[in-house]
Chains A and B, each alone.
Chain A
Amino acid sequence: MLDIQHVDKSFGQEGPPVLDDFSLAVAEGEFVSLIGPSGCGKTTLLRIVAGLLTATSGTVAVAGVPSLGPSRDKAVVFQHFNLFPWRTALANAAYGLEIQGMSRAEREERAMQWLVKLGLERYAHHYPGEISGGMRQRVGIARALVIEPKLLLMDEPFGALDALTREHLQGELQRIAESTSLTILFVTHSIDEAVYLSDRVIVMGTHPGRIIREFQVDLRRPRYDYNFRAEPQYAAIRGEIWSLLERELAITPDEPLVDATAGGVDTRS
């Protein structure tokens, strides 16, 4: 479904490489997480796949078609929700369909279906400033899914939420992922979240951003209805990822973050 081949990225002419020869293939319906320390380029990679940034070299293909920019088979859920404050939840969720030129009645009906699925029907006519962070991100998810993308890109979508809301939304995301054949690329800082949600966890290192190791997670699905944390495999993978990341963090404490030195282009990964 998603095929990333030898992607390099550096910001500016002389900038240090943020991503070096990054290749990754994601199968249809697969849930893949990217995890790594700040500055490992995971958000940069997501933005390249989304079409918001261009790779310095290398190719990205979605469903066999070269992906050269934003396209309607991809949707993004942002870390800071990025809802339009002047639109109600419903109008925010319907945004993608509005851009595609769908009639108001039809797009609002479809957006409403997603809001209902995400438990937001009572808040459809509220503005983002009037609802909680968790609800805002549900609207963000509805806005992404309403255009029925093949590939869902999620950039630390639950990073700005409190722990309880976060866990709740993780469960909901699993339900959605199961009910569709959606392929998901998920960027996160949380090992727990990555293992809980993913079929595969890609651990990235810094200077330059690259894949250090990947882990297949075979824990039984769905994972929200049993204590997956009690499974030996969970503890094993979690421990290994932690020791890899600890080593990465130990190498870099005094060096500036790659992303932060690249002209302030991308400091959020």
Chain B
Amino acid sequence: MTPTPAAHPGRSPIRISPLHHPHHRPRRGFLYTGTGVWTVRIVTFVALIVVWQLYASGVSRALFAAPSAILESIIELTITEATLWGAIATSMGALFAGFGLAIVVGVFIGLLMGRFRPLELVLDPYVSFLYALPTIALIPLLVIWFGIDTQLRLALVFLAGVFPVIINTMAGVKNVDGELLDVGRVTCASERQMVTTIVLPAALPFIFAGIRVALSQALVGVIVAEMTAIITGLGGMIIRFANFFQTANLFVPILAIMAVSVSLTTLLKWLERRLMPWDHRHLEEEGA
């Protein structure tokens, strides 16, 4: 601690403590540099793997898998047998179509509900209750209606995604700054022009928040359906390996789901930055 002037009356009272000096920059250690962060991460990761490997060598292969065994499984499933790619394709197949449909329909309904109060009054209870219901509870019902083929995946992804998108779009539409709407009104913009030039761009951050929630819900829905009903794709792989206690293999689809999820989230972030350059630049400016 730097002695304060009050504690040492003999010293000049106008001495500024280095912490409060206007040109003072807090000294940042190794952990705040780029290399520092990565050094720490890599060292701890390697340590983790080593401990894991040592522990696993004393346990049955059926109950626990060593990192070396998992690596073998990865090579087998991606290169030698290469069955992982087909599973990923199956799992993701209907995802984009169902998800695209959920976004288009969700934004449209959310927009109408946000702009027309009567429609909101009628639809809001249904939307709220269906949003609150975990979509996976509907899987058996959907199997009865749609079978276990592409239609089921489509319905599942759509139902998981559409409600978060509706609710967030509606919130965004109702949140549009009234002063910006005034600009449209004094400019004699039509309702369609109000929506396309003001309401939608203003609601875009909310819509993206909805899409992010929808994405994770849809992934959960697909994987659970594959594990419980369809037994194909990544979820089906997990169940089959688990049933045969192929523990090392079991880790591969799990890692693949992680990778898919991270890639889709990254893609979404990239899209967000592309579609909302003003937001991004603003944040950068504040951070500087």
Residue numbers of A with Cβ under 8 A of B are 50-52, 70-72, 74-76, 78, 80, 82, 84-87, 95-96, 98-99, 127-130, 147
Contact of B201 among A70, A84, A147 (CB under 8 A): A84
Of B177, B186, B201, most A-chain CB atoms within 10 Å: B186
Contact of A78 among B182, B189, B204 (CB under 8 A): B182
A-binding segment of B252-260, B265-273, B274-282: B274-282
Q: Which residues of B contact A78 (CB under 8 A)?
A: 179, 182-183
Q: Which residues of A contact B185 (CB under 8 A)?
A: 51-52, 70
10 more A-B residue pairs beyond the given contacts A70-B187, A129-B285, with a C-beta to C-beta distance below 8 A: A52-B186, A78-B183, A80-B179, A84-B183, A84-B201, A86-B278, A95-B187, A99-B193, A130-B285, A147-B187
Q: Are A98 and B197 in contact (CB under 8 A)?
A: yes
Q: Shortest Cβ distance from B285 into chain A, in angstroms?
A: 7
- Residue of A with least CB distance to B194: A99
B141 interfacial by beta-carbon distance below 8 Å:
no
In the assembled complex, the Cα of A80 lies from the Cα of B282 at a distance in Å of: 18
Q: Shortest Cβ distance from B284 into chain A, in angstroms?
A: 10
- Residue of B with least CB distance to A88: B278
Determine the main DSSP class of A at the interface with B: loop
Query: In the complex, which range does the number of interface residues on chain B fall in?
Result: 20 to 34
Q: Which residues of B contact A51 (CB under 8 A)?
A: 185-186
In the assembled complex, the Cα of A150 lies from the Cα of B279 at a distance in Å of: 35
Of A82, A87, A95, most B-chain CB atoms within 10 Å: A82
In the assembled complex, the Cα of A86 lies from the Cα of B277 at a distance in Å of: 8
Q: Are A82 and B198 in contact (CB under 8 A)?
A: no
Contact of A95 among B182, B183, B202 (CB under 8 A): B183
In the assembled complex, the Cα of A51 lies from the Cα of B277 at a distance in Å of: 33
B180 interfacial by beta-carbon distance below 8 Å:
yes
Q: Shortest Cβ distance from B195 into chain A, in angstroms?
A: 13
B14 interfacial by beta-carbon distance below 8 Å:
no
In the assembled complex, the Cα of A197 lies from the Cα of B183 at a distance in Å of: 25
Query: With contacts A78-B183, A84-B201 known, is A71 near B188, CB below 8 A?
Result: yes
- 16 examples of A-B residue contacts, CB within 8 angstroms: A52-B182, A70-B187, A70-B188, A71-B188, A72-B188, A76-B182, A82-B180, A82-B183, A84-B198, A86-B204, A86-B276, A87-B278, A99-B193, A99-B197, A128-B278, A130-B285
